[in-house]
Amino acid sequence: MDEEVTAGGRGVLAGAFALLAVLARGDGPVGLSELARRAGVPKPTAHRLLTQLAALGAVERHGDRYVVGRLVAVLGGAWRPYPGLRDAIAPVARKLAAVTGAPVAGVCLDAERRERLIACSGDMLPRMNALGFNSIVPEDAASKLLLKCFDAAETEAPLSRLEWRRVRASVSDRGFLVASHTEPSAVRCVAAPVFAPDGRVVAVVSTMVPGTRLPSSVPDTLVQAATDVGRRLGPVR
C-alpha cells in the first residue's frame, strides 16, 4: 500500500520528518501555526502528526508550543559517521589511557559539524573537571584536525589561509596535531585521525597531558592507537 498523502501533497512520513527538522534547528519552542508554516505542512495535518509524535516521545508539548522529544535524542545519539566506530574506539581508548596515564577520547563531527564524543576512558570526565575544563575535549587540537579533514567546513572555521596551511602541514608531516592550552590549566592536547577502510577520516583520537611539556612517546603512541582503531573498522557491507 502506498504511503498516505497529506493535504499538502507529501507523504505523512515526510511531513512528520519535516516537522521534526524544524524543531531540531534549536530555535526554542515553536507554536503550531509557525511550525506548520516552516515545515510546509497544513495546520490540521501538523496538529495530528504532532499529537502522534508526542505520544511516541519524539516531540514534547509545553503549553501551546513544541520541542524535540527524548526519543529523537536517543535515536540521534546512535548515529556514527561509520558503522562500528564506538566499538572500535572504546577498547583502544581504555588501553591508551592505561598506557599513558592521561585521559583519552574519541571524537567525530555530527551532521552539523559539531564535535560529538564517541567514547572516552573511564576517568576522562573527572580528570577533565580536575583540570578545570567544562567541556569534554578542548576545542583546538581535535576540532582543527577534524575540520581539516572536511574541506567543506574550512570556510566555517575561524582560521586564516596561512593558519590552515600550517595545520595541514603539521598533520601531513607528523600524522598528528598538538595544541597548547594555558587556561584554565596548562595542558597539551594531541589528536590523530582515524581512517576508515575506504580512506575517509571518520574520527579523531585525542588525549590531554597536564603541563607545558609533552612526553616524546605520547604522539607516536596516539598515532598507533588511531591506526589500531582504523584496523578494527570493517568495510561497509
Q: Write out the H or E segment, with its range, that includes residue 73.
A: helix 70-77
Confidence of residue 145 (pLDDT cuts 50, 70, 90): low
Quick: pLDDT tens for 154-208.
444 555 667 666 766 767 667 777 766 666 567 777 888 888 888 888 888 888 7
Any idea which residue has 580528570 for its cell? 127
Of residues 7 and 167, more confidently modeled:
167
Q: Cβ atoms within 10 A of the Cβ of 107, count?
A: 24
Enumerate the β-bridge partners of residue 192.
205
Quick: pLDDT tens for 70-112.
898 778 767 777 788 888 888 888 888 888 877 787 777 666 6
Of residues 229 and 149, more confidently modeled:
229
| Separation between Cα atoms, residue 164 and residue 196, nearest integer Å | 23
Is 90 exceeded by the pLDDT of residue 20?
Answer: yes
Of residues 137 and 160, more confidently modeled:
160
Confidence of residue 1 (pLDDT cuts 50, 70, 90): very low
